[in-house]
Structure 1
């Protein structure tokens, strides 16, 4: 690729004279992706994130109070004329025979997959790419199979990879700064990744993908105001993104004209959704199809905002070292000080009443106070949903009042610094740059399966859950319909 103007080959994405046709290049990447691009690393990673997605999605049936209302609402919206006997209906995981139109199946799988805040993350983009990428790919693949155009397992894996890549690269350019503007990168970037998945499976040409992207510029959304009351908006964000991706693709295929240059334009995506001065179109498109940034995605060991994970791990290690035969008492702790980046402080460290003393799951997931207090008292375990059964635990609330959070401008990413002053006079200070699951601190395969089984067994049972693990491991040998039948 020819280098754009600028001494370092990069220019800011909001410059109207910028020569980099980012929208066109990203659309071309999706339209021209080939299964020969699938490396061994990509195949392994797709299987890992797919298994994780299945687990966190069906886990919402057991652990998320929002699941039934969302299922009820979408069933009513779809209407009584669409049933399990209707042609072309698609699968929602663990809901029995297919009975949803593909756009609604995609919406539901993505919303459920994000409901526990347990889905994989991409640190440079501060987002969750898997729920949109996989939900869109599975629904479209099943829809095509229903039409007699069954995509191969390789095509599905390619669609997932391309969708992840588009979402992660867009999220990286949006940056942390997008959150200060009030937008959720998971959904604002996720709609473009979903379109990329559909483009691969439907063999769309570059022009059609560009038009779908252009239309998506008017649909990308996801308000961070959900933090005000721990609302379920957040859980729906990726679902809305997948649903609207199907709409944008259908419109583009029918010849509807979408906005041109939607990513790089003066009123385009980056201008609207982030105040970042570091948007870099050269970096956005550099190495597309050769360098797969999404391989840096990480699985989550704990069902909480990723920004709390290093603190959870540090607290759990301290608890394990002190507890011996019994759990730590809040009376043993005089004070706790946490340090984090200013960007993370906005989401998990601000000492508002609903963070210091959360009363619902979402507020607790975004509270460094609650997560640290719980881990210091009760330990930190992979795949454990029990913290949210203790929202009213007086010991936790006693301890959260002893926790202070400070910002540290020298810190970045998901790094954590933590100091505990024990009442016996013993100080305890720890720090960690990378939470468990990042490539620098990897989540081992046994942990992947441990997490999956913890979430899947209550829904599928142990035998079927083990069969799903085997099926995903041998994905190339299965048809998409065989896999989805197993997941029903």
Structure 2
């Protein structure tokens, strides 16, 4: 016969500790700069989700919702309605469809896991703008606390950190919207752990399922909060236990969770992407741009046929996660191809989302020929640089060359995006899709989040 599980002291478990913090979190206790960050990340998510909703690779999400024929509770970005859980599923998939959503060193992609779950329930429950921001902050904090101790190790093994950890961020944000008490929140986290999973084989051979990992995580986290509210319980040692995720997903090689309980508001360390590419490629693209600018100064533009090689140095673990693909066969593999992006930067002068989505451009012989002359290699992290640094040396056929280092990518916490950068990205990604008046209306609506009025219906505004 199975023996009963030994009782645990609630406040000494990591789930209980998180839950007590989340339950006690108030809008007033959040510093203004953190509230502002949450507002900006919400706007960043909305922009990329609205554009992402137009791409063919997310149509299976709409097909799934049509097949399920769920109750029309909450809005879908771009039109339509579904239950809260499946609105979160679709809206999260839309947000991750561009590979342009925010990222975090310690947990992958928090925004597309946390924000869709919070927005869906915020609409259904009619919460205030202040409550919405508070739930977003709680979700980001929880996702880092949950995933941070193992994220670096899971990348080595091949687990997708966003999918493993996203369930916890979504569960925390959803639980905060639903007003759960500390024990219910802990159970929501514990329940969510049963949905933690997801392989990264897509970065080796492509496939669009990676887009849906965000949807799976957001839906599962929201459902975990609803189930906890209804009385379902889970193992409160879901993180540190013998069969908890910290041991299982890291093969018992993980950081001390205490390192993350240092008073940091983890949402402040989010990376806002200013290229629609996997984050490991951004600094290298910045460095290539610097080297090209040096070569072109006073000498005219550098053409693809002028280039002998583009030598790229990045950290060793980024080679299989961004530099393993040279000739992409779909949009996702293009966004994980540093070589293709470097060639695109030279041939078309930019790395634009709609170029990456275009099969004709992906098949362009000139771009692919130059991609073959891009030479990525592992390099020690230079002194004073972030692990996401990029080093580039562009060598021309006439012997001229230029070298550049980008210590941290633009938009990274060490080189942060400004409010005007995020607003510019928001306008750029929606250009030609949403009217200028609608774009400005959404930006203005963000200011309403600082009040105790009901939160604006951002999904409706952006659609």
Q: Return the TM-score normalized by structure 2.
A: 0.91
The match for 2:108 is: 127
In the alignment, the residues of structure 1 paired with residue 443 and residue 423 of structure 2 have an alpha-carbon distance, to the nearest angstrom, of: 8
In the alignment, the residues of structure 2 paired with residue 161 and residue 57 of structure 1 have an alpha-carbon distance, to the nearest angstrom, of: 19
In the alignment, the residues of structure 1 paired with residue 357 and residue 122 of structure 2 have an alpha-carbon distance, to the nearest angstrom, of: 35
1:48-86 deviation line (CA, Å, top 9, x unaligned): 111111100001133x2212232122221235xx34xxx
Gaps of 5+ in 1: 1-15, 84-88, 146-150
In the alignment, the residues of structure 1 paired with residue 205 and residue 241 of structure 2 have an alpha-carbon distance, to the nearest angstrom, of: 35
Q: Which deviates more, 183-192 or 450-459? A: 450-459
The match for 2:314 is: 340
Q: Aligned-pair RMSD on alpha carbons? A: 2.3
TM-aligned CA distance change 1:371 to 1:279, over 3 Å: same
SS at match of 2:241: coil
In the alignment, the residues of structure 2 paired with residue 472 and residue 49 of structure 1 have an alpha-carbon distance, to the nearest angstrom, of: 11
SS at match of 2:136: helix
Once the two structures are TM-superposed, the CA of residue 482 in structure 1 deviates from its matched residue by: 4.3
1:67 aligns with 2:58: yes
SS at match of 1:474: helix
1:95 aligns with 2:79: yes
Once the two structures are TM-superposed, the CA of residue 317 in structure 1 deviates from its matched residue by: 3.0
1:385 aligns with 2:354: yes
SS at match of 2:376: strand
The match for 1:249 is: 225
| 1:91 and 1:105 in contact (8 A); partners too | yes
The match for 2:292 is: 319
The match for 2:454 is: 479
Q: 1:375 aligns with which of 340, 345, 352?
A: 345
| 2:277 and 2:336 in contact (8 A); partners too | yes
Once the two structures are TM-superposed, the CA of residue 258 in structure 1 deviates from its matched residue by: 0.8
The match for 2:5 is: none
The match for 1:465 is: 439
1:366-410 deviation line (CA, Å, top 9, x unaligned): 1111111211333336x6532443211111111111122211244
Once the two structures are TM-superposed, the CA of residue 313 in structure 1 deviates from its matched residue by: 1.5
The match for 2:47 is: 55
1:105 aligns with 2:87: yes
1:125-152 deviation line (CA, Å, top 9, x unaligned): 151111111111111111112xxxxx21
SS at match of 2:310: strand
In the alignment, the residues of structure 2 paired with residue 65 and residue 426 of structure 1 have an alpha-carbon distance, to the nearest angstrom, of: 43
SS at match of 2:232: coil
Once the two structures are TM-superposed, the CA of residue 323 in structure 1 deviates from its matched residue by: 5.1
Q: 2:377 aligns with which of 393, 401, 406?
A: 406
| 1:24 and 1:210 in contact (8 A); partners too | yes
| 1:176 and 1:343 in contact (8 A); partners too | no
Once the two structures are TM-superposed, the CA of residue 176 in structure 1 deviates from its matched residue by: 2.3
1:340-369 deviation line (CA, Å, top 9, x unaligned): 11111121123xxxx111121111111111
In the alignment, the residues of structure 1 paired with residue 389 and residue 399 of structure 2 have an alpha-carbon distance, to the nearest angstrom, of: 26
Q: 1:143 aligns with which of 119, 124, 141?
A: 124
Once the two structures are TM-superposed, the CA of residue 276 in structure 1 deviates from its matched residue by: 6.7
In the alignment, the residues of structure 1 paired with residue 140 and residue 107 of structure 2 have an alpha-carbon distance, to the nearest angstrom, of: 13
TM-aligned CA distance change 1:473 to 1:188, over 3 Å: same
Once the two structures are TM-superposed, the CA of residue 329 in structure 1 deviates from its matched residue by: 2.3
The match for 1:361 is: 331
| 1:21 and 1:261 in contact (8 A); partners too | yes
| 2:322 and 2:336 in contact (8 A); partners too | yes
Q: Return the TM-score normalized by structure 1.
A: 0.86
Q: 2:190 aligns with which of 178, 199, 214?
A: 214
1:297-349 deviation line (CA, Å, top 9, x unaligned): 12111100010001111222333444579753222111222111111112112
Gaps of 5+ in 2: 1-7
In the alignment, the residues of structure 1 paired with residue 373 and residue 460 of structure 2 have an alpha-carbon distance, to the nearest angstrom, of: 50
SS at match of 1:429: strand
Q: Which deviates more, 179-188 or 154-163? A: 179-188
In the alignment, the residues of structure 1 paired with residue 62 and residue 432 of structure 2 have an alpha-carbon distance, to the nearest angstrom, of: 19
| 2:37 and 2:268 in contact (8 A); partners too | yes
Size of the aligned set, in residue pairs, is 448
Map of 1:280-295 to 2, 5 A cutoff?
Answer: 280-287=256-263, 291-295=264-268
Once the two structures are TM-superposed, the CA of residue 247 in structure 1 deviates from its matched residue by: 2.1
In the alignment, the residues of structure 2 paired with residue 173 and residue 247 of structure 1 have an alpha-carbon distance, to the nearest angstrom, of: 24
Once the two structures are TM-superposed, the CA of residue 445 in structure 1 deviates from its matched residue by: 2.5
The match for 2:3 is: none
TM-aligned CA distance change 1:435 to 1:276, over 3 Å: farther
| 1:25 and 1:285 in contact (8 A); partners too | no
SS at match of 1:405: strand
Q: 2:67 aligns with which of 76, 81, 88?
A: 76
The match for 2:272 is: 299
In the alignment, the residues of structure 1 paired with residue 220 and residue 387 of structure 2 have an alpha-carbon distance, to the nearest angstrom, of: 30
